[in-house]
Amino acid sequence: QSTRAFHPENTVITTPHSEIGDGSLVIMAGPDSIESAEHVAQMATEVHAVGATVLRGGSFKPRTSPYSFQGVGEAGLIAHRQAADAAGLDMVTEVLDPRDVDVVDQYTDIFQIGTRNMQNFALLKAVGAKRKPVVLKRGMSATLDEFLQAAEYIAAGGNTQIILMERGIRSFDNKYTRNTLDVGAIAVLKQMTHYPVLLDASHAAGERALVTPLTLAGVAAGADGFMLEIHDNPDAAFVDAQQAITPAHMGEIVTKARQIHAIV
């Protein structure tokens, strides 16, 4: 059960390079999508240098339009794995389809279930049958009860290595932000559940100027870490260019976030 009534102690998830939920601040960073082997290798080195222990990047992309770039598939998983290993990082990547869980499992350290699939019960059951950590992103219109019930679908299969991620929800005014980062949800989830709670301000903001303040707000609310979309040339990113930030910008966020984390 995901509530503290059943499990008072924090769940701590151990991966080769990270302890998630142990009181430290975990940083997952990398490009939105895997663009090339060379690019992800460069990004891995750069995000490692500024504090990441987990390299993100999508090889299967959940695009709103079927005509948008869909990701490079298994070739991307191979490049992502090699880049993570070379830099001494863990790998997290999204899986979109239950039929792809086995191939993604061959490469990744951590599965990612995206906002659009939070209630894809077949997919949740498929990762629940694995014994590997899962980042579960909150559905963009999901209540916290629905979010925790989705986590239960993973746990019911015996996989309790679950990392909850707030990434912004749809609200009545998303003209200036892509989504609304639900900072209150981070604080509430930390009280309600024993699972680590992270945030993704890149997807919440949809705008690079907002990534710093939203990330810092999430850390102040008690998040166990955060995810950032990084690109050396943000405007040229294949996907979500407007929210990508440079490794140098990430370094500034990490410095400030660690200061805030030390006092919450």
Interface residues toward ligand PEP, by CB under 6 A: 32, 58, 62, 94, 114-115, 137, 167, 200, 203
Residue among 5 and 124 whose Cβ is closer to ligand PEP: 124
User: CA-to-CA distance for 248 and 79, rounded, in angstroms?
Assistant: 23
Smallest separation, CB 254 to ligand PEP (Å): 19
CB burial readout 193-217, b (16+ within 10 A) else e: bbbbbbbbbbbbbbebebbbebbbb
Taking the complex as a whole, how short is the minimal distance between the CB of residue 94 and ligand PEP, in angstroms? 6
Please identify, using beta-carbon distances, which residue of 21 and 57 lies nearer to ligand PEP. 57
Distances (CA, A) of 146 to 2, 49, 153, 259: 12, 37, 11, 33
- 3-class secondary structure, 55: strand
Q: Nearer Cβ to ligand PEP, position 181 or 254? A: 181
CB of 7 or CB of 132, closer to ligand PEP:
132
Return the number of the residue (62 or 158) whose C-beta is nearest ligand PEP. 62
As measured in angstroms, the least distance from the Cβ of 229 to ligand PEP is 7
Distance (Å, whole) CA 137 – CA 48: 23
Q: Rounded to an integer, what distance in angstroms lies between the CA atom of residue 177 and that of residue 205? A: 5
Q: How far is the CB of 100 from ligand PEP (least distance, A)?
A: 15
CB of residue 202 vs ligand PEP: minimum separation in angstroms? 8
Question: Tokens 């679950």 map to which residue?
Answer: 162
Neighbours of 248 (CB within 10 A): 11
- Count of other CB atoms within 10 angstroms of residue 121: 13
Please, what is the minimum distance in Å from the beta carbon of residue 167 to ligand PEP? 4
Of 21 and 71, the one with the shorter C-beta distance to ligand PEP is 71
Nearest-approach distance from CB 8 to ligand PEP, in angstroms? 29
Residues 140-179 as b or e (16 or more Cβ within 10 Å = b)? bebebeebbebbbbbbebebbbbbbbbbbbeeeeeeebbb
**Which residue's CB is nearer to ligand PEP, number 122 or number 264?**
122
Quote the CA–CA distance of 48 and 30 in Å, as a whole number: 10
